[in-house]
Amino acid sequence: MAFIKRDLSVQFSTKFFKGISHEMVIDQLKETIDLDQVKSVQLTENSCIVSVEDSETKDKLIINGLTLKNRSVSFLDVEKTITNVTIKDMPYEVQNCFVATQMLRYGQVIPESVRRGYIKGTNIENGSRYLQMLKCDKTLPNKTNFGRFEVRIFADNNRTECKYCRTTDHPSYLCRDKPARVVRCYNCNKMGHIARDCNNEPVCSFCKQSGHSRNNCEQYITEKARRDYGSYASEILEGQQTTQEDAQIHLNETFHVDRHNLNNNETAQKISVITKSSDNNVNIILGASNAKRLGQFHQNTINASVCGATLDNVEQCISLSTSKIKTPNTHIGKVILCLGTNDVTRNKDDSDQINITATQAISKIKQTFPKSQIAVCSILPRKGRGQHLIKMNDTSNHVNGFLKKMCIRDGTLDFIDIHKEFSKQGSAIKPLFDTNDVSGVHISSAGEEKLCEIFSKYLTALPGKSEFPVTPQHDKKRNLSDITISPSSAEAKPKHTKAGSPMMSGILNR
């Protein structure tokens, strides 16, 4: 019955009146208007609705109101023509005129009705904007974008849609159809488990395609750029793509020159051996969520990373890697261990325990892959501030120092210092970390590219060839002596003694 209009009905709330009756309302009405003009008086659960004959009588009720039980009562239209809108998450720097302009897509904004919200009792804003609209759309979106800013919209007059049942007569948190809380995996987007326990291939939550996360999705990156950059998106994306292509060409040319600068026959033989056996030569990455985000970024490389894995879970990663090996005669060339971040979270005050766990994990890898070249990655720093983050970064530094010394002493281990590449002057480089991650642990798309570059350099390096930031296997003894503080007994200089001293006389008697 959408064609029925209730232009001559007004109402007031009876929420604060107990025991109100029709007679009480009629007695007050006859003091303001003629009762012959009253058509109906209805008492509902929360309101009293009065329907009158003409608009003049209606205006008298709205202007004068009533007095019930020594309290003033104001009448309002049953069907509101004005919609009150609340906008959340709007930046402080955005002017009210911009907000009004953006809301014109949903109706007519009443002039000078836009105002800012303040924290109660202060002059500090809370980030909300309030405005009034006429001829507003039937429903307003819960979330939308004002330029490059994402905001939330709430409106009265049944304009806000419930995200569960799509009706407008109640908020979402009061919906009877609201489903029970079920966990969702951020890796494969399936219900019933979390990313830490997921062994499935990553599935993009934007394009629903497998093999990559949303941060690496070209469609998502393009859509986000178009939303952020507006009409200049195509030119900016074209410039970014050209820059990436130029960088890739430069990298290929550099690798080509490095290969042609090899002069000795032994190195040339190594290249031919690697080229011939590339089909049966496989590399393995054992890591956690940051390493898993890389996917299969390198040819003949098995990414056996498990979200949320710790050094105690290295056997699970090893088992996952062996299950992905297709042929039994496959040679495992290099193994990269990239774990430890979650161990610091669990043992932030006990670096010694992490060192013990790391030693045991490396020993298990050696036993499983005795003929492989093994690299140990340093633990990444954490982005953010706070005493707990500072404490965990200090623990990471202690563990990284221990791992580096272990790799220098052990000729079968390499050390990849990814901590150095993700930090500057002792602090994490923010663009390399996910801005939406409150824990400060997970890396961004730029961080993924950086980590891919570091791992690719190590995997493509020839045995014994120094590749920054890798500590090479050769000349381990010299490196070990470089970090030794006290000189050896043979290098120690004798102290100068005076003639006639007991020490000098003993030397002369000899």
CATH of the domain at 91: 3.30.70.330
Asked if residue 64 is part of any domain, the answer here is: yes
Can you tell me the distance from the alpha carbon of 30 to that of 206, in angstroms, rounded to the nearest whole number?
Answer: 63
- Is 383 a member of any domain? yes
Q: Are residues 434 and 362 in the same domain?
A: yes
Distance CA 96, CA 102 (A): 10
| Residues 49 and 66 both lie in one domain | yes
User: What is the longest distance spanned by two Cα atoms in the chain?
Assistant: 138
Q: Are residues 356 and 401 in the same domain?
A: yes
Q: Which amino acid is at 16?
A: F
289 plus 356 within the same structural domain: yes
| CA atoms of 407 and 241, how far apart (whole Å) | 39
How are strands ordered across the β-sheet holding 331-338?
301-303, 281-287, 331-338, 373-377, 413-416, 470-471
- 460 found inside a domain: yes
Strands 331-338 and 82-88: unpaired
Number of helical H runs and strand E runs in the chain = 15, 20
Expressed as residue numbers, the domain containing 161 is: 82-174
Q: Are 407 and 471 in contact (CB under 8 A)?
A: yes
From first to last of its 510 residues, what are the pLDDT tens digits of the chain?
445 677 788 888 887 787 888 888 888 888 888 888 889 998 888 888 999 988 888 888 877 888 888 888 888 777 666 788 999 998 999 999 999 999 998 888 887 889 999 998 899 999 999 998 877 888 888 888 888 889 999 888 777 777 778 777 777 778 887 777 667 787 888 877 887 778 788 888 888 888 777 777 888 877 777 776 666 667 666 766 666 666 556 555 554 444 444 444 444 443 333 333 445 788 999 999 888 888 877 778 888 888 888 898 899 899 888 888 877 778 888 999 999 988 888 887 788 889 999 999 999 999 999 889 999 999 999 888 778 888 888 899 999 999 999 999 888 899 999 999 999 888 888 888 888 777 788 898 888 888 988 998 888 886 654 444 554 444 444 444 444 434 444 444 444 444 444 444 444 344
Note if the pTM is more than 0.95: no
Return the bridge partners of 414, or none. 375
Asked if residue 474 is part of any domain, the answer here is yes
Please answer whether residues 457 and 467 qualify as being in contact, where contact means their C-beta atoms are separated by less than 8 angstroms. yes
- Residue 375's DSSP bridge partners are 336, 414
Q: Are residues 63 and 146 in the same domain?
A: no
Q: Is 273 helix (H, G, I), strand (E, B) or coil?
A: helix
Asked whether residue 107 falls in the same domain as residue 66, the answer is no
Q: Are 420 and 471 members of one domain? A: yes
Residue 412, domain member (yes or no): yes
Domain endpoint, select from 32, 56, 77: 77
Domain count, the chain: 3
Q: How far apart are CA 101 and CA 506, in angstroms?
A: 98
Question: In this structure, are 326 and 432 located in the same domain?
Answer: yes
Same domain flag for 349 and 454: yes
